[in-house]
């Protein structure tokens, strides 16, 4: 039966343990070598197994719930461990989009698309970083993943829409981002609920407040179970057929973000707590190779003072860096805008707009007041009667800001942006008061982790599968490279590889 406890402190504990490894240990883990402090546990370390199952799934988000269902459908006894008191992970916070090609939904909407087209588009975003075999599976299996969700009761009532960096890469955008609904639920809640209801209907066991900490391996290096903290006690849990890592990303582990990613540690996170890279670390500790550890999906955003996590957006006015200059197409794909923001001085910039634009877009974000009075009062938004005063408050050279706005106003009038090829919202900035709203890079998730093959088997540093160890979702690397491929790519990877991992783990000999 499910047990519940608050384990946020426990994730802090494991994080402190990780920090103790220091930079050398972290770098060693990146290469897949074995830091001494992360010694793998062998069969001889286990006096007694407190629980047993066929397939053990670590993490109850999108990938974990999918893997559990797939393993159950393949006839296995399944146990899911979830470190938090609730399931859903980042999946439940998401927009509920899945990126897919050649689906029945696209056909219904008259969108002509192929898996090959999606593969080529996805690979083009990777900048040679992503793993062609992993992307091939994500493209080829994506329609089946959508059908699988439909089979569980998910619906896709709206036409899939084009949300990716294609235009910036000289490619034609295609509507591939399918947004799920499930009964009265929408977005990420619908995405997780459709899976969780199926898990509950089948009576699959989910143990909450259970943090997997170490993999236990046999003499031949294959995985036979885990050591987990359950209700403050060490437990050894035997997996007779296989273990599926589905523990998500490391967006809440500053040391990993600082080591692997560009500016990741200086970003605000949009994800819930718990995403501390536990699965990556457990896999690296037994010799797994890493893949695309630098990859992120992110967006410009801000952190309202009263909230514990950041929110995305808004798209408004022009983006001006600390030099007082524009640097990006402000209406481009979010990950494109975030990558450019990360490259600016201090990875900070301001959305600059005027009173007329504010009125037109009010409220400029769902969490903000229409007038912005409260936000100005709280110091979240700057307001000034002239551009020169605004520049002073922003800490940027006034003459630069005035020149930048003047140039933008010329583009707005011509409805053409020769500087950054913006194609929309040609609104001049001319009527005071003027506003500046600081934007920082915020993380949707990390996308680097254990290297997997098309069968979702975790590979060691020599490219060989580690026996009975599978990974799915953002704990596995390979899918995302320099740019995020399009809205829904992460949930594609979660469901597609969750299905494969669960099925293959169940089919191992018990």
Ligand X SMILES: Cc1cc2nc3c(=O)[nH]c(=O)nc-3n(C[C@H](O)[C@H](O)[C@H](O)COP(=O)(O)OP(=O)(O)OC[C@H]3O[C@@H](n4cnc5c(N)ncnc54)[C@H](O)[C@@H]3O)c2cc1C
Using CB under 6 A as the binding rule, whether residue 483 contacts ligand X is answered as: no
Using CB under 6 A as the binding rule, whether residue 139 contacts ligand X is answered as: no
- Total residues contacting ligand X by CB under 6 A comes to 40
Q: Nearest-CA neighbor of 156 among 175, 176, 177, 181? A: 181
Considering only residues 186 to 225 of the shown chain, the ones binding ligand X according to CB under 6 A are: 211-212
| Residue closer to ligand X, measured from CB, 63 or 429 | 63
Please, what is the minimum distance in Å from the beta carbon of residue 415 to ligand X? 31
Please, what is the minimum distance in Å from the beta carbon of residue 12 to ligand X? 13
Using CB under 6 A as the binding rule, whether residue 229 contacts ligand X is answered as: no
The CA-atom distances, in angstroms, between 188 and each of 25, 98, 128, 185, 194 are 35, 10, 30, 9, 10
Number of Cβ within 10 Å of residue 490's Cβ equals 29
Please, what is the minimum distance in Å from the beta carbon of residue 339 to ligand X? 16
Please, what is the minimum distance in Å from the beta carbon of residue 64 to ligand X? 6
Considering only residues 98 to 117 of the shown chain, the ones binding ligand X according to CB under 6 A are: none
Using CB under 6 A as the binding rule, whether residue 299 contacts ligand X is answered as: no
Burial status of residue 172 (CB atoms within 10 A of its CB: 0-12, 13-18, 19 or more): exposed
Considering only residues 10 to 69 of the shown chain, the ones binding ligand X according to CB under 6 A are: 58-64
Please, what is the minimum distance in Å from the beta carbon of residue 276 to ligand X? 7
187-201 and 62-73 are packed helices; what angle lies between their axes, rounded to 10 degrees? 30
| Residue closer to ligand X, measured from CB, 96 or 317 | 96
Choose the stretch contacting ligand X; rule: CB under 6 A; options: 93-101, 423-431, 453-461, 462-470. Answer: 93-101
Please, what is the minimum distance in Å from the beta carbon of residue 470 to ligand X? 13
Choose the stretch contacting ligand X; rule: CB under 6 A; options: 117-125, 162-170, 195-203, 274-282. Answer: 274-282
Q: Nearest-CA neighbor of 339 among 302, 347, 331? A: 347
Which residue in 283, 349, 458, 490 binds ligand X (CB under 6 A)? 490
| Residue closer to ligand X, measured from CB, 35 or 59 | 59
| Residue closer to ligand X, measured from CB, 142 or 344 | 142
Which residue in 164, 242, 248, 287 binds ligand X (CB under 6 A)? 248
Burial status of residue 253 (CB atoms within 10 A of its CB: 0-12, 13-18, 19 or more): buried
| Residue closer to ligand X, measured from CB, 286 or 320 | 286
Q: Nearest-CA neighbor of 57 among 239, 314, 251, 270? A: 239
Residues 6+ apart with CB under 8 A from 406: none
Please, what is the minimum distance in Å from the beta carbon of residue 403 to ligand X? 36
Please, what is the minimum distance in Å from the beta carbon of residue 4 to ligand X? 13
Which residue in 55, 111, 244, 489 binds ligand X (CB under 6 A)? 489
C-alpha 177/C-alpha 451 separation (Å) is 25
**Each residue of 54-64: b (16+ CB within 10 Å) or e?**
bbbbbbbbbbb
Using CB under 6 A as the binding rule, whether residue 84 contacts ligand X is answered as: yes
Please, what is the minimum distance in Å from the beta carbon of residue 267 to ligand X? 12
Residue 211's φ and ψ, nearest 5 degrees, are: -105, 115
Considering only residues 158 to 187 of the shown chain, the ones binding ligand X according to CB under 6 A are: none
Number of Cβ within 10 Å of residue 268's Cβ equals 17
Q: Bin 248: left if φ > 0, else alpha if -120 < ψ < 50, else beta.
A: left
Burial status of residue 157 (CB atoms within 10 A of its CB: 0-12, 13-18, 19 or more): exposed
Choose the stretch contacting ligand X; rule: CB under 6 A; options: 39-47, 137-145, 409-417, 483-491. Answer: 483-491
What is the separation, in whole angstroms, between the first and last Cα of the chain? 23
C-alpha 92/C-alpha 148 separation (Å) is 18
Using CB under 6 A as the binding rule, whether residue 89 contacts ligand X is answered as: yes
Please, what is the minimum distance in Å from the beta carbon of residue 96 to ligand X? 5
Binding site for ligand X (CB under 6 A): 58-64, 81-84, 87, 89-91, 93-97, 211-212, 246-248, 270-271, 274-275, 278, 444-445, 473-474, 487-491, 494
């Amino acid at each position: 039966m499910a047990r519940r406890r608050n384990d946020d402190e426990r994730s802090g504990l494991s994080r402190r343990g990780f920090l103790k490894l220091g930079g050398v240990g972290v770098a060693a883990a990146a290469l897949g070598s074995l830091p001494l402090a992360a010694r793998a546990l062998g069969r001889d370390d286990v006096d007694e197994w407190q629980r047993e199952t066929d397939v053990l799934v670590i993490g109850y988000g999108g990938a974990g719930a999918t893997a559990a269902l797939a393993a159950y459908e393949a006839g296995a006894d399944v146990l899911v461990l979830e470190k938090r008191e609730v399931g859903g992970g980042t999946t439940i916070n998401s927009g509920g989009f899945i990126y897919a090609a050649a689906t029945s939904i696209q056909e219904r909407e008259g969108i002509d698309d192929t898996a090959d087209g999606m593969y080529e588009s996805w690979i083009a975003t990777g900048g040679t970083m992503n793993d062609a075999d992993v992307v091939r599976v994500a493209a080829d299996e994506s329609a089946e993943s959508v059908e699988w969700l439909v089979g569980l009761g998910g619906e896709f009532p709206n036409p899939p829409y084009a949300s990716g960096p294609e235009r910036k890469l000289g490619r034609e955008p295609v509507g591939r981002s399918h947004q799920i609904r499930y009964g009265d639920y929408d977005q990420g809640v619908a995405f997780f609920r459709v899976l969780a209801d199926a898990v509950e209907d089948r009576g699959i066991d989910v143990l909450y407040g259970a943090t997997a900490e170490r993999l236990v391996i046999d003499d031949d290096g294959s995985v036979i179970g885990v050591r987990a903290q359950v209700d403050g006690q060490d437990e050894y849990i035997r997996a007779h057929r296989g273990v599926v890592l589905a523990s998500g990303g490391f967006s809440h582990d500053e040391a990993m973000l600082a080591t692997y990613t560009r500016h990741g540690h200086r970003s605000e996170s949009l994800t819930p707590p718990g995403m501390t890279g536990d699965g990556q670390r457990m896999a690296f500790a037994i010799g797994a190779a890493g893949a695309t550890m630098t990859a992120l999906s992110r967006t410009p955003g801000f952190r309202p003072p009263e909230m514990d996590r950041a929110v995305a957006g808004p798209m408004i006015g022009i983006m001006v860096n600390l030099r007082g200059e524009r640097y990006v197409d402000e209406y481009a794909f979010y990950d494109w805008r975030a990558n450019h923001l990360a490259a600016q001085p201090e990875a900070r910039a301001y959305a600059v707009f005027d009173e007329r634009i504010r009125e037109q877009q009010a409220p400029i974000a769902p969490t903000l007041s229409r007038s912005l009075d409260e936000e100005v009062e709280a110091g979240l938004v700057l307001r000034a009667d002239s551009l020169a005063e605004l520049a002073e408050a922003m800490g940027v050279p006034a003459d630069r800001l005035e020149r930048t706005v003047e140039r933008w106003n010329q583009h707005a009038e011509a409805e053409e942006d020769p500087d950054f090829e913006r194609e929309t919202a040609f609104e001049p900035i001319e009527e005071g008061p003027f506003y500046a709203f600081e934007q920082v890079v915020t993380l949707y998730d990390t996308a680097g982790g254990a290297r997997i093959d098309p069968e979702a088997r975790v590979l060691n540093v020599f490219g060989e599968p580690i026996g009975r160890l599978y990974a799915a979702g953002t704990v596995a690397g390979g899918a995302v490279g320099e740019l995020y491929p399009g809205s829904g790519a992460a949930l594609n990877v979660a469901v597609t590889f969750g299905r494969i991992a669960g099925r293959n783990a169940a089919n191992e000999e018990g």
